[in-house]
Structure 1
Amino acid sequence: MSAPELGATAFALRDASRPLLVLGPSLGTSVTALWHDVVPLLDDDLDVVGWDLPGHGTSPAVAPGSLDDLTVADLSSAVRALVDAVQAERGDPGAPCWYAGVSVGGAVGQQLLLDAPGRVRGAVLCCTAARFGDPGPWLERGALVAAAGTPTQVSTSAGRWFAPGFLERAPDVGTRLLASLQHADRFGYAAVCGALSRFDVRDRLGEIDAPVVAVAGADDPATTPDDVAQVAGGVRRGRLVVIHGAAHLAPAEWPGRVATLVRELVSEGEAR
């Protein structure tokens, strides 16, 4: 299939004098809702652009059945096209970028590093995996959402996304993210469930040579620290960071910690 149409948000876009950071979302979130509190900690000296999953955030709605065969590789191709356009706008056509993504956004990061190794200088991959479990539950969830909508996922997602006590401490953050889930297009959400059901790069991680910081939430039931450790240990230059008091949406729960990890990775790479 052709690459899906993805919406994009230019959080900070100046010129090629600054490194370009590309941000990716998690299933059910918009990139703006997820990275809202991280971007202000980075955009003083980085150009920052985010992309949205099909039917999520700024991306257009999805026609029923149009993305039934969607793969993470298709999403990766669409993100590469977005990076091409942004780098051309910045006056730096063909230049590589830095990348940070969460869950399926982290899967897209892995795919980018595999399919276009010269295009990504390094990546912070949060709460992600090289394989997201058995296909059956993903296909069942996708079928339910396609039939009944994303509000069916609000309660269970709240339990997966946030560590115990977080919603009480930061209700505004939880409201922002759960609202983005409720507003996501049901067919786009279902298509991404299908893509996750088909994703498995466990036997290819050793091909990834760019530096990777793999970030796990200690309380994440969806992509456990062991899942994230498999990514960190499988790539050639991986480092595992486990954030205690975080579940599946580490950039929303611990924006300062995640921003520091991104800034350190970029600073080390740019100094070489």
Structure 2
Amino acid sequence: MTADPALGVVPFALTDAARPLLVLGPSLGTSVTALWQDVVPLLPDVDVVGWDLPGHGSAPAPDPRGLAGLTVPDLARAVLDVVARAQAERGDVGAPFWYAGVSVGGAVGLHLLLDAPGRLHGAALICTAASFGEPGPWLDRARLVESAGTPTQVEGSARRWFGPGFVEREPRVVLRLLGSLQTADRFGYGAVCRALAAWDARPGLAGAGGPGSSVPASSVPVVTIAGEHDLPAPPAALAEIARGVGAVRSEVLDGVAHLAPAEAPARVAELVRDLVTAGVAR
């Protein structure tokens, strides 16, 4: 059965079809605003809309029954609905758009790239992976959060999310992000954990031009961005994606862990801006 997730929508800047449209995706446990708010002002002349995971940020509290069997492809279909509403306002429904997403938001971008490349002008895949490890730990985390809530994840997330010294240097950013985690709905969080447990795009990468494949790599320009200290999605995971899709650029950010847009907003903005600018100029 296909799940029907209700996503949140954050229209950071929407004007008309004369400007490129960039769609931003979050990481599990974050709101798109908390994660991307320092990047958006550095992207002038671009329309930007963000989406939130079920029960996160601007999204309504979900009905757990509607999230049964949630998958990353389900999230991707829901993101296309978000895009359609934004494009209806801009007057360019069905046109290709730019995408940048982190972790599960990056997995959604990778799915769109492999499943519906014609919808994308280009994509920045950030601190993400074609597979996030064995299902067991994700299913254990889902059960814990569904029974005891997202505050159970604060300590572990603080260790995984931020590079060395960031907590001391930027306590307000850290509190902003951990606050979004604590207020996330437990069933929405648990459903996304289960989706990540089942996520494995590696066969699709092999078919998109990976080693041994006779299928050409994606014609959509892709930039991969990894964090030097990222444990959930280490640089090797981004390198695997970059090889599979024939990325035009692959960067590893020094000192960064899992939430690159919050940890290094100027650098992420530069990379995303370069991607969009180069594509518009083609």
Q: TM-score range with shorter-chain normalisation?
A: over 0.9
2:12 paired with 1:11: yes
1:45-194 equivalences in 2 (<5 Å): 45-194=45-194
Shift of 1:64: 3.2
| Aligned counterparts of 1:152 and 1:141: Cα–Cα separation in 2 | 9
TM-score (norm 2): 0.94
Q: How high is the sequence identity, in percent, across the aligned residues?
A: 64
Give structure 1 stretches of 5+ with no counterpart.
none
Q: Secondary structure of the equivalent of 1:147? A: helix
Mean alpha-carbon deviation: is it higher for 173-182 or for 53-62? 53-62
Tell me which residue corresponds to 2:236: 226
Which amino acid in structure 1 is aligned with residue 7 of structure 2? L
Shift of 1:81: 1.0
Residue by residue, what CA displacement relative to the aligned partner does 1:195-236 show, whole Å, maximum 9, x if unpaired? 001111112121633111110000111111111111111113
| Aligned counterparts of 2:68 and 2:133: Cα–Cα separation in 1 | 19
| Aligned counterparts of 1:117 and 1:5: Cα–Cα separation in 2 | 23
Q: Secondary structure of the equivalent of 2:128? A: coil
Which amino acid in structure 1 is aligned with residue 5 of structure 2? P
User: Which aligned segments of 4 or more residues in structure 1 are displaced greater than 2 angstroms?
Assistant: 63-66, 236-239
Mean alpha-carbon deviation: is it higher for 79-88 or for 168-177? 79-88
| Aligned counterparts of 1:68 and 1:152: Cα–Cα separation in 2 | 22
Shift of 1:65: 4.1
Tell me which residue corresponds to 1:251: 261
Equivalent of 1:271 in 236, 261, 281 = 281
Mean alpha-carbon deviation: is it higher for 125-134 or for 113-122? 113-122
Tell me which residue corresponds to 2:39: 38
CA 1:63–1:3: 2 relative to 1, 3 Å: closer
Which amino acid in structure 2 is aligned with residue 5 of structure 1? A
Give structure 2 stretches of 5+ with no counterpart.
209-216
| Aligned counterparts of 2:244 and 2:159: Cα–Cα separation in 1 | 29
The Cα RMSD (Å) is 1.0
2:38 paired with 1:28: no
TM-score (norm 1): 0.97
Which amino acid in structure 1 is aligned with residue 157 of structure 2? S
| Aligned counterparts of 1:99 and 1:213: Cα–Cα separation in 2 | 10
Mean alpha-carbon deviation: is it higher for 66-75 or for 201-210? 201-210
| Aligned counterparts of 2:4 and 2:83: Cα–Cα separation in 1 | 14
